Chains A and B, each alone.
Chain A
Amino acid sequence: MSELANTPVSALLDLAASQLEVAAHTSDARVEALSNSVAALVQLGAELQAAHGAGTASETLAKQIVEQAQSALVAMQFHDQLVQRMAHVRDALTELNEALHSTSEVDWATVLAGIRVRYSMEDERMLFDRIIGATACPDVNCHDSTHDSLRSSVELF
């Protein structure tokens, strides 16, 4: 067990992980209410658009409502990403704390690889690689960002 396991460092890691958990979920209900409202606006706008003849002023306004609500839908998806990012940081802190309490010698490369493999977004992996680097995490699966950079937002197989 690391000598850090019996210091406030371990408790602080635990605290940070718990605070991230709370922060991520405190906003859930409100974001859900917001997304419901925006979703309803998209639907109402579409119904308005369908109810008015093409080329009329009302149809043009309805179309603008739909476009604005759709922009809001895109922007709101960043909350989902934020929650995922926070979960990945929380998991990393928890894994680090568990490593500090390990009774056997810690294989840090394995711990780091375990943290990295949880990431789902390219920029998370890139930031990890930039800060932690290949020396600390030599696992071959740790460095596949070159492939990630080739991705497209839509790919049909």
Chain B
Amino acid sequence: MTRMIMTVDDSTSMRQMVKATLLSAGYGVVEAADGQEALDYARDNSVDLVIADVNMPRMDGITLVSELRLLPAYRLTPLLLLTTESSMEKKMEGKKAGATGWLVKPFHPAQLLATLARVL
């Protein structure tokens, strides 16, 4: 069965790049433009992994992680934050919120796929 991954980023081009990487490896992909859109989707649908940006309008990636962890279906789902944000403080916020990992942009497709293989 195809594993579904949700990519969450307010940059359309970044979503396209993540999507292309995932599709080329055989994953199914769902896109969301911000945390709120992702959360709304996750409440009614199931995905196997979430890759979210941190700084986004409406709802940021760290809040999204916190909110997803409150949903029983997402308590154990791998939630990765993919961001240009590099401060240790933010990273610790992400960890505390329940993120599975922190990836700094720019990402390399092979590196992203290797990370997915480790957490799925």
State the main secondary structure of chain A at its contact with B: helix
Min CB–CB distance B4 → chain A (angstroms): 17
Question: What's the Cα separation between A78 and B13 when bound, in Å?
Answer: 11
Min CB–CB distance A143 → chain B (angstroms): 11
Question: Are B105 and A77 within 8 A (Cβ)?
Answer: yes
Restricting to A50-105, which residues have a CB under 8 Å from any CB of B?
A: 66, 69-70, 73-74, 76-81, 83-84
Min CB–CB distance A60 → chain B (angstroms): 17
Q: Which single member of A35, A74, A81, A150 contacts B16 (CB below 8 Å)?
A: A35
Question: Are B88 and A147 within 8 A (Cβ)?
Answer: yes
Additional pairs, 19, CB under 8 Å, beyond known A38-B20, A77-B17: A28-B13, A35-B13, A35-B16, A35-B17, A39-B19, A43-B24, A46-B23, A70-B109, A76-B13, A78-B106, A120-B84, A141-B89, A151-B86, A152-B104, A153-B103, A154-B111, A155-B103, A156-B101, A156-B119
> What chain B residues lie within 8 Å of A45 (beta carbons)?
24
Interface size (A, Cβ < 8 Å)? Answer: 42
Is A36 in the interface zone, CB < 8 Å from B? yes
Is B91 in the interface zone, CB < 8 Å from A? yes
B interface with A by C-beta (< 8 Å): 11-14, 16-17, 19-21, 23-25, 54-55, 83-91, 94-95, 99-111, 115, 118-119
Question: Are B103 and A154 within 8 A (Cβ)?
Answer: yes
> What chain A residues lie within 8 Å of B24 (beta carbons)?
42-43, 45-46, 66
Q: Which single member of B11, B88, B99, B107 contacts A157 (CB below 8 Å)?
A: B99
Q: CB-CB contacts of A112-155 with B at 8 A, as 1s and 0s?
A: 00000000111001000000000000000100100110111111
Question: What's the Cα separation between A133 and B83 when bound, in Å?
Answer: 26
Question: Are B20 and A32 within 8 A (Cβ)?
Answer: no
Is A31 in the interface zone, CB < 8 Å from B? yes
Q: CB-CB contacts of A22-44 with B at 8 A, as 1s and 0s?
A: 00000010011011101110110
